[in-house]
Structure 1
Amino acid sequence: AFPTATTIDHRDDLDRVQRELAGVPGVSVLIYDQTCAAEKRRRRKRGTFPDPVKRVIINEAVCEGCGDCGVVSNCVSVQPLDTEFGRKRTIDQSSCNKDFSCVKGFCPSFVTVHGAEPKKGRAMAVEADISGLPEPVIPTIEHTYNVLIEGVGGTGIVTVGAILGMACHLEKKGVGLIDMAGLAQKGGEVFSHMRIARVPEDIHSIRVHAGSADLVLSGDIVIAGGKKSLAGMKPTTKVVVNTVETLPGQFTRDANFSLPSERLKRAIISHASRETTHLVDAQRLATALMGNSIATNLFLVGYAWQIGGLPLTAAAIERAIELNGEAVKMNITAFRWGRLCAHDREAVEKLVAPITAPSGVERLSSSLEEIIARRVDQLTRYQSAAYAERYRGLVEAVRKAEADKAPGKQGLTEAVARYLYKLMAYKDEYEVARLYTDGNFLKQVAKTFDGQDLKFEFHLAPPLLAKPDPATGVPRKMSFGPWMMTAYKVLASLKGLRGTAFDIFGYTHERKTERQLIRDYEALLAEILGKLTPDNHALAVGLASIPEKIRGFGHVKARHLDVAKKEEAALLAEFRSGPKPEVKLAAE
C-alpha cells in the first residue's frame, strides 16, 4: 500500500503537482510513471496491452500549420503535409501509438474517430513479374563484404539485418551482425553492421569501420547523410537511400523546420560517388504497389540486390523471408518490386502514377493564373462571388503595378495572391463548420480509415463555453460527439451573417482583429504599390508575405501575430527609408 500522504494524479496535472511539491518543506518525491511508446507497441503485438479501436485525424483544410499540437504532444507522429494552401499537419497512422495528447493542441482540426483502423491500401499488383529480369553480377568476397543497414528506430531495420544474416547462413557463408540501436526511442538512429565472409574464420571484427562499407542500405535520408553513415563510405560504396522526408523530433519544437534534403543528397554523393548512389522514393513506391509502407525495407533490399550490392542469391534472401514468418508473401513481392524498380524505374513510376499523383489541396498550382483561380473559387464558397471579386481586383492591381514599376521582376503578385487570400479566408466558426461539412473531410476519413459505423469525437474550445485552465489561463478543450456534424451544418448555413450586426461571433476580439488585418493589408498594399521600384521589389515581396507567419487559433494566433507585426515593422521601416546612399571612399 502507498503511504497515506501519497496522491495519484493524471499526467495533465504534472505542472500543478510540481508547483505544489515545490512549496513542501523538506524532501518530496515525484514519480512519473508511463509506459513508453516502444513498449506499448511490443505489448500490443503480444495482446497484453489495451489497444483502443480509435484513431486521431487532422482535418487538413481546418489546420493552420501552427505546430501547437507538436508542442503539447512532443510526438514525432505529427508530420508536415505540404499543400496548395501552405504547410499543414498530418498524423502518421503507421507510427501513432495512440497517446492522443496531440488533440490538446489549441486547434479545432482534431477529430477522434472511434471504430477506425488505418486503411490497408489495396496492392496494385499481387505478383511482380520477374521472368524477364536479368540477373545481376553477384559481388565477389575478397576478405569480408561490409554492409551498413541504417534507419529510424521502430521501422524494421534490425529485422532486415536478421533476414540477410539468415540468408548468409543458408548459403553457409560466414556472417557477423551487430545492432547499434542506442536508446529505445522512436525516431532514434539504428545501425546494423554486417560483415559477410566466405567462411566464419575470415571475420575478425563485426563493426564496419570508416571507409570500409561496400553497401550502405538506408531507410532514412537524414541518417544516410549523417556523420556516422558518411564516415563508412568510400568512392566505390554502393548506396541505396529511401528519400522520403520523415521529420525528426526537432519539428515538434520548430514549426518551420525543414529537412536540408538537397544538401544531404550532395553529401552522400560526395562521400560515395554519383555512379554508385541510388536515391529512391522507396516508401512512396512500395506503399502504392503493396498497399503498406512496411514493405519499404524489403523493397530497398530488392533494389540493392538487383544493382549487385549483396553477395547473396535471391533464392536465399526469399527463403530467409519465409523463415522469418512475418507477412511472407508481401515481403517477397516487395523484394521483387525493388528488383524491378532498379532495372526499370521509369516503368514502375508510370505504373504507380495514378495512385501517387497529388490531388485536392495536396496538388500544387502550376501557374500564377491557377493560384488565383483556385482562391477565387474558394472565396466564393467561403462567402460570396462579390467577396471573391474584391480579392481578384486587388491581385490584378498588384499584377499591373509590378509589371509597370518593376519590369522583369516576379514574386510580388504571387505573394499577394497567396496571402491576401489567407487573410480574407480567416477561419471563423462559420468557416470551420463549412470545412467539416463540404464533403472533403468525409472523403479524407474514408481515404485514411477502414471500419464500420465510425463515430466522430470533436475536440474544441468554443469561445463562449470553454473554461480557462487555472494554471495557464488557456481555454481547456472539450469533447463533442457525432451530433456536432449536424450543428456544423446549421452553422455553415449561417455564413451570410459573417460581419453583420447579427454575427455574434464577430464581436469577439479575435474576429475583430482578423477583419482589421485585412484592412491593414490593403493599406499596406496601397503604400507598396505607390512606392514600388526595382530596387525595393524584394522588400515589397517580404512585406506582402508577412501573413505567412500568422497561424493558429486563439492565443496561439495572437502569439504568432505579435511576432509577425514586429517583423513587418522592421521591414516597413526599411522600405520607407528608401535606397541607402552610396558611401564613397576617401580615395574617390
Structure 2
Amino acid sequence: MITINALLCYAAWMDGLRVLSYDQTGAAQKWGPVLSSLVLAAPGQPLAANKVGAGTADLYLAFDLLAAATRVNLDRCDPARTAAVVNTTLLPSGEMIRDVHFAPPVEAMRATIARFTDPARSVAVEARRIAEALFGDYMATNLVALGVAYQAGLLPLTARSMEGAIRLNGVQVEQNLQAFRYGRLWVADPERVRPLVEAPRRTLDDEQKRVLTRLSDRNAHAYVSFLDRCAHLDEESRRLLAVRVAELIDYQDVRYVEPFVGFVLKVAARERAAVPGRFELTHAVIRHLYKLMAYKDEYEVARLHLKPAFRAQAEGLFTKPRRLVRHFHPPLLRALGLQRKLALGPWFTPALRLLRAFRGLRGSAWDVFGYAAVRREERALIGWYRALVESALERLDPATYPVVLDLAQLPDLVRGYEAIKLAGVKAARERAGELLALLQASGVPAARS
C-alpha cells in the first residue's frame, strides 16, 4: 500500500499536480492494517490536510477487503461521491491462519463497501488471483488493481506518468509494468485476460490420458477395470475417481484400491436410491475416504518427493540452477530426541527411492514407522470413517441429507501433522457424535439391510 501511494505521489508530481500524502504502516499493532491517504490538487489550488476527511474521498482503493470493510475507513466515503476499486481476493489474516475453517463473509463485506460508495462507478476485481496466475507472485496484486482504477477513469493521472513512476521505483520494473497494463486490459477487454487466469478444467478424458501415460501396463489394466466398474456414475464422480484411483495404486498397490472403489459404489447406490439426482454425498466420500487412505507417512513423503512433477515445480521457482535440499523431521527420530529438521541434499535421493520401494510394508508388522501413535491413528481413521458413513446411510433421505453430507465431510477437520493432526482427529470424532445424535433424533428409521 505504501509503495502504491509513493508511486501515485511521483506520478502526480510528474503531471504537475500538488500532492499531500499520509501513511499508516500498522507497525504499532502487529499485523495491523496499512492505510494511506492521498490528496491531489491542481497548481494554485489550496491543500489544507494530508488526510482525506470524512465523506470526501473520490476514490477508495481497497486492496485488503477485511480492512476496507471496517467502519473507520468507510467513513471517508460518500455514496454520492466515492468510487471504489475492490480487490475481492482475500488476503490471509491471522484468524484465517489460526483456523483454516474460518471463512470471512466476503459477500457481506462487499455489500458493506457498496453501501458507502457509488456502485455505478465502482469496480470489483480478483486482483490477487490475476497477479498469481500471470506472474506467480501475489506482490503484483496492488499494481493490477491500480491498472483497473486507471482504466476505469478513476485516477486523474496520465498513463505516461504512472509508468514513469513504476520505472523510477526501480523494483521489478517489467513485472510491475505488465501488472499495471494487465489491470488496464482487464477493464478494457476482460475476455483477453480471462483465459490467461482461468486454467482450463480437466475433463474425464484428460485425466485418464494423463494417468495412463505413467502407469505400468499391469497397473494401467487394473486402473481401466476400476473405472469401467464406475462407468454408470455421474461424470464428476468419474473424474474425481480417475485421479484418485491412480494415486492410490501408486500409493500402495492395486489391492489397496479395491475397498476404496467398492465403498464408493455402495455409497453412490444408496444415494441414488434415497435422494435421486443428488451426487454431492458420493463426491464427498470420494474426496475424504481418499484423503484418509492416502495419509502421508514416510513412504508417501518419499514417493511424493520423487515425482517428476515435484522436481519440475521446485526447479521452476528459480531462474538459475539450484541445489535441491530437503528438510525432514521424521516422528521416529523426534521420538529418539532429535529436535530439529535434517537438511538432506541430492545424496539422499537413493534412500528416498529405497523407502518408496518398501511402501508395501505399510501397516504390516515390519513397518517400523507404523508403530508411532499418529500412524496407528491414521490407519484407524479409515475404518472409523467407513463405519460412520455406513451408519449414516441407514437413515439417509431428503430430510437428513444435509446432516449425512456433513458427516461425510468430517475428515476435512483432520489436517496438519502429529499433535495438530491428532487434535483435528479429536474434533472430528466429537463432531461426529453431535451429528449422529441429530440423525437419531430426526425420527427417520434405520433402513433394513
Match of 2:429 in 1: 565
Quick check: which one's helix share is greater? Answer: 2
What is the deviation of 1:429? 2.0
Alignment of 1:369-448 (within 5 A): 369-448=238-317
**How has the CA–CA distance of structure 1 residues 480 and 200 changed in structure 2, closer, same or farther, with 3 Å as cutoff?**
same
1:20 aligned residue: none
Q: Which has the higher contact order (CA 8 A, sep 6+)?
A: 1
Letter in 1 for 2:97: T
Deviation at 1:443, TM superposition (A): 2.2
The 5 Å alignment of 1:288-307 reads 289=134, 293-307=138-152
| Structure 2 residue aligned with 1:253 | 98
Q: Cα–Cα, structure 1 residues 580 and 343, in superposed 2: closer, same or farther, change >3 Å?
A: same
* Residues 1:432 and 1:455: Cα distance change in structure 2 (over 3 Å): closer
Distance 1:464 1:161 in 2: 50
Matches of 2:12 and 2:34 in 1, distance apart?
Answer: 21
Partners of 1:396 and 1:402 lie apart in 2 by: 10
Measured after TM superposition, the shift of residue 492 of structure 1 is 0.7
Q: State how far apart, in whole Å, the 1-side matches of 2:235 and 2:9 are.
A: 47
Does the C-alpha gap of structure 1 residues 326 and 420 become closer, same or farther in structure 2, counting only changes over 3 Å?
A: closer
The verdict on how the C-alpha distance between 1:335 and 1:412 changes in structure 2, with shifts beyond 3 A counting, is closer
Give, in angstroms, the shift of residue 194 of structure 1: 1.5
Q: Match for 2:359 among 487, 495, 504?
A: 495
How high is the TM-score relative to the length of structure 1?
Answer: 0.64
**Letter of the 1:367 counterpart:** E
Report the Cα distance in structure 2 between the residues aligned to 1:253 and 1:173, rounded to whole angstroms: 45
Q: Distance in 2 between matches of 1:282 and 1:554?
A: 36
Q: Kindly indicate whether the alpha-carbon contact (under 8 Å) linking 1:546 and 1:564 is maintained by their aligned counterparts in 2.
A: yes
**Structure 1 residues 497 and 304, CA gap change in structure 2 (3 angstroms):** same
CA contact (8 A) 1:286 1:334 kept: yes
Cα distance in 2, alignment partners of residues 386 and 357 from structure 1: 33
Question: 500-509 or 189-198, which moves further after superposition?
Answer: 500-509
The yes-or-no answer on 1:537 pairing with 2:401 is yes
With normalisation by structure 2, the TM-score equals: 0.82
8 Å CA contact retained: 1:466, 1:478: no
Residues 395 and 444 of structure 2 are in contact (CA less than 8 Å); yes or no, is this contact kept in structure 1?
A: no
Is residue 168–residue 175 contact of structure 1 (8 Å, CA) maintained in 2? yes
Q: Distance in 2 between matches of 1:476 and 1:202?
A: 63
Shift in Å, 1:440: 2.8
* SS of match in other structure, 2:75: helix
Offset of 1:519 from its aligned partner?
2.1
Q: Equivalent residue for 1:262?
A: 107
Q: Answer yes or no: is 1:506 the counterpart of 2:351.
A: no
Report how far residue 208 of structure 1 moved: 1.1
CA contact (8 A) 1:168 1:312 kept: yes
Specify the code of the residue in structure 1 equivalent to 2:289. Answer: L
Q: 1:370 to 1:466 in 2, by over 3 A?
A: same
Conserved? CA contact 2:64–2:91, under 8 Å: yes
Is residue 213 of structure 2 the alignment partner of residue 368 of structure 1?
no
Matched, 1:576 2:440: yes
Counterpart for residue 141 of structure 1: none
* Cα shift at 1:359: 8.2
Residue of structure 2 aligned with 1:181, choices 25, 28, 31: 25
Which structure 2 residues correspond to residues 57-456 of structure 1 after superposition, within 5 A? 157-183=1-27, 187-235=31-79, 236-286=81-131, 289=134, 293-350=138-195, 352-353=196-197, 367-456=236-325
Say which SS state the counterpart of residue 449 (structure 1) adopts: coil
Deviations 1:180-216 (A, max 9, x none): 2231677432222122222355222231122211111
C-alpha distance 349-407 of structure 1, shift in aligned 2 (>3 A): closer
Change (3 A) 1:476 1:337: same
- Cα 1:577–1:296 change in 2 (3 A) is closer
**Equivalent residue, structure 2, for 1:34:** none
Whether 2:341 is the aligned partner of 1:478: answer: yes
Tell me, in whole angstroms, the C-alpha distance in 2 between the residues paired with 1:283 and 1:540.
35
Q: Is the 8 A contact 1:402 1:413 kept in 2?
A: yes
Specify which structure has the higher proportion of strand: 1
Residues 315, 322 of structure 2: 8 Å contact kept: no
Amino acid at match of 2:189: D
Identity of aligned residues (%): 36
Q: Do the aligned partners of residues 274 and 389 (structure 1) sit closer, same or farther apart at CA in structure 2, a change above 3 Å counting?
A: farther
| Equivalent residue letter for 2:406 | G
Give the aligned partner of residue 555 of structure 1.
419
Residue deviations 1:66-109 (CA, integer Å, cap 9, x gap) = xxxxxxxxxxxxxxxxxxxxxxxxxxxxxxxxxxxxxxxxxxxx
- The count of residues paired between Structure 1 and Structure 2 equals 415
Q: Mean Cα displacement is larger for which, 310-319 or 435-444?
A: 310-319
Aligned partner letter, 2:358: L
SS of aligned partner of 1:179: strand
Is the Cα contact below 8 Å between 1:268 and 1:277 reproduced in 2?
A: no
SS in 1 for 2:20: strand
Counterparts of 1:491 and 1:417, CA distance in 2: 27
